[in-house]
Structure 1
Amino acid sequence: MADLPRAVRQAMPLAREVAVEVAKQYGVCIRPIALKRLDTHTGRWEVVDVPCGATLDAKCSSCAKRNRQLRKAQCREGWHLDHEPAITPDEANDDQRWLVKFRADLQARRDEVAALGEDTADWDAAIEGVDAEINEAGMRGSVLGRTVPKRTRSTRRRQDAANLPKRRMTPTTLGRTFASSDGKVYRPSLFVTLTLPSYGKVRDGVPLDPDTYDYARAARDALHFSKLVDRFVQNLRRVAGYDVQYFATVEPQKRFAPHLHMAIRGTLPRAEVKQIAAATYHQVWWPQVDEVRFADDHLPVWQDGAGYLDPATGEVLPTWDQALDQLDADEHAKPLHVIRFGDQVDVKGVLAGTPDADQCIRYLSKYLTKSLGDTLDTDNPAQREHAARMVEALRLEPCSPACPNWLRYGVQPKGAKPGMAPGRCRSKAHKPDHLGYGGRRVLVSRKWSNKTLAEHRQDRRTWVLEALGQRDETPDPHRYLWKPVPAGDANVAPLAMRLLRSVAERQRWRAHMEQLQAQAEGQDPPAIGHIGRAA
């Protein structure tokens, strides 16, 4: 090897990179997380590789593909469900009961301190921490429910929005069935695609005239798209008259605007669905951002105990709640933004078990392993410029009540803290890969498949173990103790070696499964070595 010319050696592939490529071929995680596991029965420590669980190809294609397959199974199982899902809450365990009792004790002591007129800040902080532990312990909601009064606004519909019919709700999640003349019963469902309106003429995803393209509106629509989807679901259920269940994915168009694909259990007239989409809107009741009060060379300053101040006058900027109070008190106030769907609404009827259903499921999961920014063609200068303009429009647009960009408009962000500055929001909505959309990419209603994603993952594990002839026994939750492995731990093998071990294990699984399949088909099982090479 040393005698080879330098140019020849540099052209050779790196062994580690080849190991990574082989790991991808076998579906092995290429970014495994090393954890130390103590077996309390034997007292033995061992280092275990745990898959990273990434959902994007750019991070780990093996984990992303596995997640995509789980989502496809979740979509398929719930779309044409023919029985009501029975969701029964789990019984509380001892740890959960202890937390609630401890929370009650803290509340009682806090009330005693408040009755004496003393400061309760430390008790409030302790209670907030316990509330967070209650949620992490697997309990939904809060012990006390909503502790801050919800702001209410008029529910009267806008004059420029059509009214929607309202049917009496029936306690079901199943759609209607239809019987043919031969007695066969059909249970159709819907596949709906919703898009945002036009911001200017485009060709191949690029504005024909970038100077007149409404980037400001496009940015705000992307930021609040998830709220519009929530409103559509509310209107859909009100019109349908039953608890409509859905599986939806958010994907980018070539023009970088998010749009929605939604599988809906049950069916409604197509004209009615389009009417619901046309009448759906969401109003963003936030302070106005027409006037820039503080530019980059004149930003508010932080003062402990007071918050952010005007650097020229020393005046304390209104907090987020104070700004909303002013908005509530103004009878002539208008929403910061109103978002609606565009005119393009596609509604398609789908029957269970048909090629159309399989095609729709593939389409729903098609882009789940890609980021929203992956639609960018880096070889297209016009599209790169379009993306840069979109990112710039998002840079100083407030994305949430806690966004530092509110300082630019004279309002303290919710939960303000030192070090905030406009244009430096860490929310993923401001990142180029997300193009303004900071919500979840997959939206699944609670009663869709009657299973959580973890339960679908367990079903997949059970199937594999049964195919390998092994039993999937419920492990003792108290048997193992897990700890993170510190950086530089000598017990952790190099990444390439860990990948090769995982590949070897995956080869054994494939060989065993192919042998079982060959035996089931009455054929002679192939040789193990042959299977290893073919796999």
Structure 2
Amino acid sequence: MTTTEQPAVTLPDGPIDQDKLTRAQKALLALSDDVAAQLAEDHGVCVRPLAMRRIDLTSGRVDVVPVPCGSTREDKCRPCADKARRLRMVQCREGWHLEHEPVTKPADPTERQKELMAVRADMHAAYAPAKEEGDETECEEIRDAVAEIDAELRALGVRGRLAPLDPPDRLAVKRSTRRRQDAPNLPRRPVENRTVGAVYAGRYRPSTFLTLTLDSYGRVDKHGAALDPDRYDYRRAARDAIHFPKLLDRFWQNTRRCVGWDVQYFGTVEPQKRGAPHFHAAIRGTISRAELRMIAAATYHQVWWPNHDHQTYSGDHVPRWDAIKTAWVDPDTREPLPTWDEATDPDALDAPAHTVTFGEQVHVKGILGGTEEAGRHIGYLTKYLTKSVGQAAGLNDTATTRQRAHARRLAAELAITPCSPRCPIWLLFGVQPRGSRSSMVPGVCKGKAHRPEHLGIAGRRVLVSRKWSNKSLADHRAERSSFVRQLLARAGVQPAYAVDDGPFEWETTKAGDPDVPPRPVLLLHAIHQRQRWRADYDAAVLATTEPDPDCSATESEAA
């Protein structure tokens, strides 16, 4: 039996009278929402703006304005994701090849700050005897007074953790810092208070580009899928992915102690095709390849958690919550499960549950600032920041069957791997997680590490050291806004979108509010606003650009 091919549907040339089109031809017409969304992308406008209510506290005027969603994923909002990526590129560029130390010295304490801290010290001294005597009224008054003092200290610009009145019930467990016998020793030098690199030949101050990977778990094909899934170590791959951030922290600690100066870095965590995370970092200054490879080989992280190689419970046979004992109990014996503190007691753990190490592949390259190569590596560092972890690993519509099967096996292992001491998956291994409560579901955790699209990478994708550029992302945004405002003021251009300086109060809107326009209308307002902004900016650029003296009058008129 043969089937006849359907004739291709085409649209008539020239102006279209939609009343005369067939249903198939109408289906080929562009949707108005799609046209508006594409126009928004062309102008760099958020395609899914949020409606916020802006209240002018001086005049009382209330306006509903579109606010960008701020997404960092291009599959959700490409303009916002591209904007966030460009901001990260600026942050990386400004701190990579600094020639002078960033200003990091804290301000000197003021007299008022010291007065409040002295009063807080008196409160601490009075709280201890009141608590010993059981005077709850006095303790409550002291707690309220300390809370007011803390709020005023924060308002005066004091940062950092303030000492609590009530010390923790159980101090953190201190374990031995003696290195493992199978780990090579590292030299330990006093860390100098400097972050910039050395100068060579009196003029060159190169920096470093570093790539770190995890160990191998089995052979994979060119797409990153396991050639022999039964021999591929999915359990170790899942645990390494979850504890990868801790390994990176340990690496930078070892690096600073080994090289003897305060190493600063801008790094991104990305997945490989096999699903394992790896790390790219721009390091300010130079460190030899031999030293970095030695540090990577000597770096490890031990996970001192209860053993979780074999599940105690599964299926419907899982622990139950006992409201009388306020604890999770065994479904058969009704005996409470060991608490987290009991299960992690140093006497109960004779060995770490897992140890994470780097693989043998360590890529190191020297980069000179201001070169095309430096710009290319900055683009490479931020290349996948707008994609989800799964998309960056190649798990898209073109993924092979073996790739999808490999990702499913890894996701299945991540689903039964605890991600933190508070993870409800611990109940499947017969341990009450820290802060256990009745609302927990045994074996079900909402953490990002267990979602298939995250492949165990639950932390931040961008890691920046504290002294990289001494600027936050908010500081970089403020600099960009300040540059535009100064340019407009220098050109004498009054922005068409200018509003009073406020002060303003912002409110979130709710679905069904009568003053909130529909999403397509918000999108059109945002496009119109961006067009006006661009026109004002272009006019300011033309007004402040000096004419080329080599250009003739005829050429100027033609331009």
Q: Does 1:485 align with 2:485?
A: no
Please report the RMSD computed on the Cα atoms of aligned residues, expressed in angstroms.
3.2
**Residues 396 and 34 of structure 1, relative CA distance in 2, 3 Å threshold:** same
Q: Of 406, 414, 428, which aligns to 2:426? A: 406
Q: Distance in 1 between matches of 2:430 and 2:354?
A: 18
Q: Of 229, 239, 243, which aligns to 1:224? A: 243
Q: Name the residue aligned to 2:74.
A: 57
Name the stretch that deviates more: 6-15 or 153-162.
6-15
Q: Name the residue aligned to 1:294.
A: 313
**Deviation readout 1:203-255 (Å, 9 max, x if unpaired):** 12111111111100000000000000000000110011011110000011111
Q: Name the residue aligned to 1:9.
A: 26
**Residues 38 and 516 of structure 1, relative CA distance in 2, 3 Å threshold:** closer
Q: Of 286, 311, 315, which aligns to 2:335? A: 315
SS for the counterpart of 1:194 is strand
Matched AA of 2:27: Q
Q: Distance in 2 between matches of 1:108 and 1:477?
A: 47
Q: Name the residue aligned to 1:368.
A: 385
**Residues 99 and 44 of structure 1, relative CA distance in 2, 3 Å threshold:** farther
Q: CA deviation at 1:478?
A: 8.0
Q: Name the residue aligned to 1:264.
A: 283
**Deviation readout 1:386-408 (Å, 9 max, x if unpaired):** 11111001001001001100001
**Do 2:427 and 2:443's aligned partners in 1 also have CA atoms closer than 8 Å?**
no
Q: Of 347, 363, 369, which aligns to 1:346? A: 363
Q: Distance in 2 between matches of 1:213 and 1:79?
A: 39
Matched AA of 2:334: G
Q: Distance in 1 between matches of 2:34 and 2:124?
A: 57
SS for the counterpart of 1:207 is coil
Q: Distance in 1 between matches of 2:147 and 2:451?
A: 33
**Do 1:468 and 1:509's aligned partners in 2 also have CA atoms closer than 8 Å?**
no
Matched AA of 1:60: C
Q: Distance in 1 between matches of 2:519 and 2:115?
A: 42
Equivalenced residue count is 510
Q: Name the residue aligned to 1:245.
A: 264
Q: Distance in 2 between matches of 1:315 and 1:101?
A: 49
Name the stretch that deviates more: 501-510 or 261-270.
501-510
**Do 1:396 and 1:422's aligned partners in 2 also have CA atoms closer than 8 Å?**
no
Q: CA deviation at 1:440?
A: 0.7
**Deviation readout 1:97-116 (Å, 9 max, x if unpaired):** 99999998997897576334
**Deviation readout 1:431-452 (Å, 9 max, x if unpaired):** 1121001111000001001111
Alignment of 1:459-470 (within 5 A): 459-469=479-489
Q: Distance in 1 between matches of 2:154 and 2:241?
A: 30
**Residues 136 and 491 of structure 1, relative CA distance in 2, 3 Å threshold:** farther
SS for the counterpart of 2:87 is helix
Identity, % of aligned pairs?
Answer: 50
**Do 1:35 and 1:482's aligned partners in 2 also have CA atoms closer than 8 Å?**
yes
**Do 2:304 and 2:351's aligned partners in 1 also have CA atoms closer than 8 Å?**
yes
Matched AA of 1:504: H
SS for the counterpart of 1:34 is strand
**Residues 278 and 136 of structure 1, relative CA distance in 2, 3 Å threshold:** farther
Q: Name the residue aligned to 1:529.
A: none
**Deviation readout 1:66-116 (Å, 9 max, x if unpaired):** 1111110010000111111112547999x9999999998997897576334
Name the stretch that deviates more: 104-113 or 203-212.
104-113
Matched AA of 1:387: A
**Do 2:411 and 2:450's aligned partners in 1 also have CA atoms closer than 8 Å?**
yes
Q: Name the residue aligned to 2:217.
A: 199
Q: Distance in 2 between matches of 1:215 and 1:299?
A: 24
Q: Distance in 2 between matches of 1:113 and 1:418?
A: 34
Q: Of 284, 293, 308, which aligns to 1:274? A: 293
Q: Of 466, 469, 487, which aligns to 1:449? A: 469
Matched AA of 2:212: L
Q: Of 435, 440, 456, which aligns to 2:460? A: 440
Q: Name the residue aligned to 1:168.
A: 190
Q: Distance in 1 between matches of 2:247 and 2:438?
A: 33
Q: Name the residue aligned to 1:526.
A: none
Q: CA deviation at 1:49?
A: 2.1
Q: Does 1:497 align with 2:526?
A: no
**Do 2:319 and 2:442's aligned partners in 1 also have CA atoms closer than 8 Å?**
no
Q: Of 122, 138, 143, which aligns to 2:162? A: 143
Q: CA deviation at 1:286?
A: 0.3
**Do 2:212 and 2:358's aligned partners in 1 also have CA atoms closer than 8 Å?**
yes
**Residues 315 and 92 of structure 1, relative CA distance in 2, 3 Å threshold:** farther
Choose 1 or 2 for highest CA Rg. Answer: 2
Q: Does 1:189 align with 2:207?
A: yes
**Deviation readout 1:430-476 (Å, 9 max, x if unpaired):** 1112100111100000100111110011111122333444699xx99
Q: Distance in 1 between matches of 2:116 and 2:45?
A: 39
**Do 1:306 and 1:316's aligned partners in 2 also have CA atoms closer than 8 Å?**
no
**Residues 294 and 100 of structure 1, relative CA distance in 2, 3 Å threshold:** farther
**Residues 334 and 89 of structure 1, relative CA distance in 2, 3 Å threshold:** same
Matched AA of 1:316: P
SS for the counterpart of 1:389 is helix
**Residues 112 and 59 of structure 1, relative CA distance in 2, 3 Å threshold:** farther
**Deviation readout 1:348-393 (Å, 9 max, x if unpaired):** 0011111111111011110111111112143311111111111001
**Do 1:110 and 1:123's aligned partners in 2 also have CA atoms closer than 8 Å?**
no
Q: Where do 5+ consecutive residues of structure 1 fail to align?
A: 524-535
Matched AA of 1:440: R
SS for the counterpart of 2:454 is coil
Q: Of 155, 178, 198, which aligns to 2:200? A: 178
**Residues 143 and 267 of structure 1, relative CA distance in 2, 3 Å threshold:** same
Q: CA deviation at 1:321?
A: 1.5
Q: CA deviation at 1:35?
A: 1.7
Matched AA of 1:171: N
Q: Of 255, 277, 284, which aligns to 2:303? A: 284
**Residues 54 and 108 of structure 1, relative CA distance in 2, 3 Å threshold:** farther
**Deviation readout 1:2-60 (Å, 9 max, x if unpaired):** 45322222222211121111111111112222222221111222212221111111221
**Residues 335 and 471 of structure 1, relative CA distance in 2, 3 Å threshold:** farther
**Do 1:377 and 1:384's aligned partners in 2 also have CA atoms closer than 8 Å?**
no
Matched AA of 1:414: R
Q: Where do 5+ consecutive residues of structure 2 fail to align?
A: 1-17, 549-559
TM-score scaled to structure 2, two decimals? 0.84
Q: CA deviation at 1:303?
A: 2.0
**Residues 342 and 123 of structure 1, relative CA distance in 2, 3 Å threshold:** farther
Matched AA of 2:68: P
